[in-house]
Amino acid sequence: MPLVSVIIPTYDRRSVLGRAIRSVLSQTFKDFELIVVDDGSEDSTSEYLSRFDGELTALFQVNNGVSSARNLGIKHSQGELLAFLDSDDEWLPEKLARQTALFQGAGPLFVCHTDEIWFRHGKQMPQRSYHAKQGGRFFERALERCLISPSSVMISRSLLEKVGHFDEELVAAEDYDLWLRITAFHEVHFVAEPLVIKHGDCENQLSRTVPVIDCFRIRAIEKILALQELREDYRKSAIRELIRKCEIVASGCAKRGKTKEAEEYRALARSYQDAEAESA
């Protein structure tokens, strides 16, 4: 059985999928299996995958979203460690080697991510200071924005089983949701080396096709607040961030004339403010 299972979910990415696959097959670390999950593509993805017969396992499902595709890959995987790669991104050759080396000295509840490089239209994009990656415990920072890229993460099967798989009810921010469930209770390892290249060119990226991703982040924060074992200081930070995001979404809804939705998010924010005031 391989130590690592690499899972690539894809949907209508025939034009870039080969780049992602080749970056996995070119890894210096070789003890892995590669699983590509075609989430109901309508282009020639299925035919293209047949070119890699013997080098990967191809799975197919009716279009049901990226969380469902990743979870299907997990279900059919065998490795003790799981690594994910979005089909429009790519890895540098030492990515798996660097992370598995850290795993050798860690416990079974292992999660690790790496630094990354951003490209758009063939040009490297700058990253602001608030995008800076880190290791250790950083739940408060993870609340503010998604600091872990799915394409950079490696996680032990035992930890994923403990915190739960990707939430298939979230159309977007499914990774943000998982990182909250991890960072709230576990330390994260970090390789301070850019080993992932993220490309921002695909038209069907969720950041472009889902208009208000903060709506799903709010749902993710509500999920984490429902956990009784959440530390009290983390709970207060989560409530503050939920209120802030509600205000942002409400303001956006109001500008677009969606007054009912705006009031719903303002009411949600008030309910948490009132609950905090009562418990003080």
- The mean pLDDT values, 10 residues at a time, for the chain of 280 residues are 97 95 98 98 94 96 97 98 97 98 93 95 87 95 95 98 97 96 98 95 57 90 97 96 96 93 96 83
What is the predicted pLDDT for the residue at 280? 65
User: 57 to each of 9, 85, 122, 242, how far by Cα in Å?
Assistant: 12, 15, 30, 40
Task: Name the amino acid, one letter, at 26.
Answer: S
Hey, how many other C-beta atoms are within 10 angstroms of the C-beta on 235?
17
Q: For residue 66, give the nearest of 204, 182, 212 by alpha carbon.
A: 204
What is the predicted pLDDT for the residue at 211? 58
What is the predicted pLDDT for the residue at 60? 97
- The CATH class given to the 4-205 domain equals alpha beta
User: At 3, which helix (H) or strand (E)?
Assistant: none
Q: Enter the tokens of residue 52.
A: 């890699």
Secondary-structure breakdown of the chain: helix, strand, coil percentages, each rounded to the nearest 5: 45, 20, 35
Q: Enter the tokens of residue 145.
A: 């924005």
What is the predicted pLDDT for the residue at 105? 84
253 Rama sector, left if φ>0, alpha if ψ -120 to 50, beta otherwise: alpha
What is the predicted pLDDT for the residue at 206? 59
Q: Domains of the chain: which residue ranges?
A: 4-205, 231-279
185-198 in b/e burial notation, b at 16+ Cβ within 10 A?
A: bbbbbbbeebbbbb
DSSP, residue by residue, 118-175: EEETTEEEP--GGG----B--HHHHHHS--S-GGG-EEEHHHHHHH----TT-SS-HH
